Amino acid sequence: MEQHMIPLQMDILRESAERVRTRLGHPTPMAAAILGSGWGSAMADWTVTHTIPYGDIPVMGAAAVKGHAGALHLAETGEGSCLVFQGRRHFYGCAAWEPVIFPVYLAHQLGASTLLLTNAAGGVRADLQPGDLMAIDDHINGMGANPLCGPHHPDLGPRFPDLTHLYTPALRRELDESATARDIPLKHGTYLAVSGPSYETPAEVRAYATMGADAVGMSTVPEAILAGSLGLRVAGLSCITNRAAAIDNDALSHDDVIEITQAATPRMRTLVTTFMQRVGAATATKR
């Protein structure tokens, strides 16, 4: 974990954000979304106006994982524009926090007020089965790390950010209403993040269940923490791709994760689009 103790390079975050702002033509997006493993097609119904491959954004670093190709898009949802990070950088794949948290920093710098975080996760609670979609109500940080460790940067919020209502209650309701309107089953639960990249052992999964986890994955929590610290409204969605390691499991594989998300793609796409349009409509009436 030592590499993560390198203090955040705020100048690199700031410069990269300014470069991207210029390249996107100084946009004022209403929201941002990070599309994690298997969620890449969730934006298929939107009109993309700009695309920047992650390779052109030095702070994002190189792509590491299948299903995480990586490009930043500016897209029109029909009710306002959204910054879309198609593919994320993970704690386990990075020598520093900057690539993991840049999307959140950028979203805040460009004035987006809502952030949607999506991921693939293993189901811990008995009813969370492969293919299910789950709204994240709360999280447990089991990564053993926090992107806000190190010297305090007032640009990233207070020294001790409050996370009591991190997954914004109004957005959780909005997710429910979007799902109901489009007849999509949506479960709710607490997401526990581990550092990865190894999957959990059965004993760990039993322990996480006792701790109150409903699903387990390797992402989202660092981004949510920074977003909460910056005062963004946060919504989270998991696609359950497998039962987390349990005695009745076959071996877990990333290919299975991708296969299950493909089957869930039409629901992901409809839910994300409906949610963003509702958020956009509500944001516009407040302006």
Q: Residues in the site for ligand HPA, rule: CB under 6 A?
A: 120-122, 199-200, 216-218, 241-242, 244, 252, 257
- Closest contact distance (angstroms) between CB of 286 and ligand HPA is 35
User: For every residue of the chain, which 3-state class applies, written as one string?
Assistant: CHHHHCCCCHHHHHHHHHHHHHHCCCCCCCEEEEECCCCHHHHCCCEEEEEEEHHHCHHHCCCCCCCCCCEEEEEECCCCEEEEEECCCCHHHCCCCHHHHHHHHHHHHCCCCEEEEEEEEEECCCCCCCCCEEEEEEEEEECCCCCCCCCCCHHHCCCCCCCCCCECHHHHHHHHHHHHHCCCCCEEEEEEEECCCCCCCHHHHHHHHHHCCCEEECCCHHHHHHHHHHCCEEEEEEEEEEECCCCCCCCCCHHHHHHHHHHHHHHHHHHHHHHHHHHHHHHHHHC
If the CB atoms of residues 238 and 274 are measured against ligand HPA, the closer one turns out to be 238
Would you state the structure tokens that stand for residue 224, as one six-digit string?
Answer: 């949510």
If the CB atoms of residues 121 and 230 are measured against ligand HPA, the closer one turns out to be 121
- Closest contact distance (angstroms) between CB of 242 and ligand HPA is 5
Query: Which residue number is nearest to ligand HPA in terms of Cβ?
Result: 122
- Closest contact distance (angstroms) between CB of 59 and ligand HPA is 25
If the CB atoms of residues 215 and 232 are measured against ligand HPA, the closer one turns out to be 215
If the CB atoms of residues 217 and 280 are measured against ligand HPA, the closer one turns out to be 217
- Closest contact distance (angstroms) between CB of 125 and ligand HPA is 13
- The number of beta carbons lying within 10 Å of the beta carbon of residue 255 is 10
Question: What are the beta bridge partners of residue 53?
Answer: 71
- Closest contact distance (angstroms) between CB of 284 and ligand HPA is 35
If the CB atoms of residues 68 and 233 are measured against ligand HPA, the closer one turns out to be 68
Question: What are the beta bridge partners of residue 51?
Answer: 73
If the CB atoms of residues 11 and 250 are measured against ligand HPA, the closer one turns out to be 250
- Closest contact distance (angstroms) between CB of 243 and ligand HPA is 8
Rounded to 5 degrees, φ, ψ at 190 are -95, 130
Cα–Cα distance for residue pair 81/60, rounded to 1 Å: 22
If the CB atoms of residues 221 and 271 are measured against ligand HPA, the closer one turns out to be 221
- Closest contact distance (angstroms) between CB of 19 and ligand HPA is 32
- Closest contact distance (angstroms) between CB of 153 and ligand HPA is 29
If the CB atoms of residues 43 and 194 are measured against ligand HPA, the closer one turns out to be 194
